[in-house]
Amino acid sequence: MNFWLELLIKVGLALAIMLPVALVVIFGELKISAHMQSRVGPYFAGGRWGWAQPLADGLKFMQKEDLVPADADDRVYKLAPYIVLMGTLALYVVIPIGPDAVARDLDLGVFYVLAVSSLSTLGVLMAGWSSANKYSLIGGLRAAAQLIAYELPLVLAVIAVAVQAGSLSLNDIVNAQASFHLFGVESILGRDVTWISSLISPFMILQIVGLVIFLVASLAELSRIPFDMPIAESELTMGYLTEYSGLRFTMFFLGEYAGLVSMAAIAATLFMGGYSFPGVSEDVLNFLGPVILLSKVMFIAFVFIWLRWTFPRLREDQLQTIAWKWLIPAGLINIVATAIFKVAF
Amino acid sequence: MTDWITSPENWAFVLIAVPMVFAAFRAVTSPNVVHSVLFLVVALAASAALFLLLGAEFVAWTVVLVYIGAIIVLFLFGIMITRAPLGVETELSHSNQTKLGAAIVSGALFALITVTTIQGFGDAEVTASPTRTVEIGESIFQRFVIPFEVVSVVLLAALIGGIVLARRDPVEGDEAERSAMGSAQSANLTAEGGEA
């Protein structure tokens, strides 16, 4: 097939799948938070369950005037949301949604994920500085400090997975989880026990420490409650988002949820076996793979929403303490333990 | 010359290199220090793109992760936490003398890099196939393992040195002095309040 045509189809498909998924997660957040607080949540828009609420919100945001403060640095201010959105959307390139369905199976998949996701920090700092507003600047600084602190545990958790799988490519990591046999034991007392090892093969069992570190760190990377110091409403209005309105605010908003979906997809791929499922053969996975991956993504997104409506916001010093004194040492110990395990068995 | 025009790599190179040179130039001449850093981002991103063009994927994404993702963010963080003026800064415009010195140094550096690169590689052709990460890992951890370890020890020393230089240990009695000052100030305030 023509290279450019293939590229166009892939980009179109990624946008056509991932943006509606982000809308579904927004709707889920509205409804789940409502039920957790004994409210009804959106009710009227679109008829049953108020399903059209995120669409209505999005259209409302887009209709509003795109304001630029008089003192703002015009070009930097306008460019910032694109950089944030680019950092999250570019992640979808390497996420495999089926045995043969991946936009580009990069040789250094996980490394690419970490490199690209670090770009959005730059966009946040640009937004905070160019708004010419003290709230925005402090919000941007807090976001940068937080993202720098939590980038490390994220990388450490990923390294342990890469060591166990023996590869950086996301496709290989999924395969390693699908074909991994615990300690190489295939039978005990003459009975076939490979089914047990196929059940516990996803890294969420053996890398449970890594999974917890990854989830906490990605919550912090997404600046979601309980890690939402950068946009803490009670003290910073809306942090680096304060001055944004209209389409650019929509981009930040959508970028936040697209980022949530991409982080959940990466966590599902690294720790929960991605598109694979114990006992499902490769031929079937080509059709069922996207559905399996999507349901895992939705599960992790539910956990993120659950945490958001359960915990209060952390203070800045508590937030930094968790990263530097708990997550990073735990991540280092996890890597050492994984390496010993890998060499020993 | 026709060879040059027909091969797409050359056009990709021009498309990357021209903005890169422009951004590098603006990074030095821009009157706003934050703008300079952002132009540096463009220059670094273009150098990552050039590495991609050469098939060095790992190096390219390392440039993005380490330089754009960490070092530039630290630059911006440092500038913004101390002072982050919007608009034109008059302090940054230099005299002609410093401009001449800077031009001489950068010109000499450019000449040095050009000469060593040409002498080192001559007209050797770049293989079009991308380098696999596994090969890089093997060459780092097998053939170059001792230089790698030496570099990490040097980095560790720099890290500890940085912390030692930046850190100020709390001096004995500092805390008591501060609380004494605080109570004196509050006493002052109440006195003023009383007078008013």
Are residues B23 and B1 located together in one domain of the fold?
yes
Among candidates B41, B80, B86 on the partner chain, residue whose Cβ is nearest the Cβ of A141: B80
Pairing of strands A187-188, A191-192: antiparallel
Q: Do A129 and B35 touch (CB under 8 A)?
A: no
Are residues B145 and B124 located together in one domain of the fold?
no
Are residues B136 and B75 located together in one domain of the fold?
no
Confidence of residue B189 (pLDDT cuts 50, 70, 90): very low
Q: Looking at the predicted structure, is the pLDDT value of residue A284 above 80? A: no
Phi-psi region of A45 (alpha: psi -120 to 50; beta: other; left: phi over 0): beta
b (16+ CB within 10 A) / e for A25-43: bbbbbbbbebeeeeeebbe
Are residues B57 and B123 located together in one domain of the fold?
yes
* Parent domain of B51: 1-86+113-128
- Which of B42, B86, B136 is best to mutate for the A interface (most A CBs within 10 A)? B86
Q: Looking at the predicted structure, is the pLDDT value of residue B195 above 50? A: no
Are residues B117 and B146 located together in one domain of the fold?
no
- Say which residue, A343 or B40, is predicted with more confidence: B40
User: How many helices and strands, by DSSP H and E, does chain A display?
Assistant: 15, 2
Residue B22 domain-assigned (yes or no): yes
Q: CA-to-CA distance for A276 and A167, rounded, in angstroms?
A: 17
Q: CA-to-CA distance for B58 and B139, rounded, in angstroms?
A: 13
- Which of A68, A108, A151 is best to mutate for the B interface (most B CBs within 10 A)? A108
ipTM: 0.78
The confidence score (pLDDT) of residue A101 equals 66
Say yes or no: B133 contacts chain A, CB-CB below 8 A: yes
- Mean pLDDT, to the nearest integer, of A8-27? 80
How many Cβ atoms sit within 10 Å of the Cβ of residue B2? 6
Q: Looking at the predicted structure, is the pLDDT value of residue A175 above 60? A: yes
Lowest average pLDDT, out of A251-260, A261-270, A283-292, goes to A283-292
Are residues B79 and B11 located together in one domain of the fold?
yes
pLDDT tens across A64-93, in order? 888 888 877 778 888 888 888 888 888 887
Residue with the two structure tokens 């002072």: B83
Are residues B149 and B124 located together in one domain of the fold?
no
Are residues B78 and B117 located together in one domain of the fold?
yes
Helix A53-63 × helix A246-271 angle, to 10°: 140
Residue A284: C-alpha distances to residues A98, A171, A270, A277, A288 (Å): 10, 17, 21, 10, 6
Confidence of residue A182 (pLDDT cuts 50, 70, 90): low
Shortest Cα distance, chain A CAs vs residue B184, angstroms = 29
- Mean pLDDT, to the nearest integer, of A122-131? 85
Confidence of residue B115 (pLDDT cuts 50, 70, 90): very high
Which residues of chain A make contact with B32, given a CB cutoff of 8 A? Answer: 73
Quote the number of domains for chain B: 2
Which residues of chain B make contact with A118, given a CB cutoff of 8 A? Answer: 64-65, 68-70, 73
Are residues B22 and B119 located together in one domain of the fold?
yes
Residue with the two structure tokens 């450490």: A156
Residue B57 domain-assigned (yes or no): yes
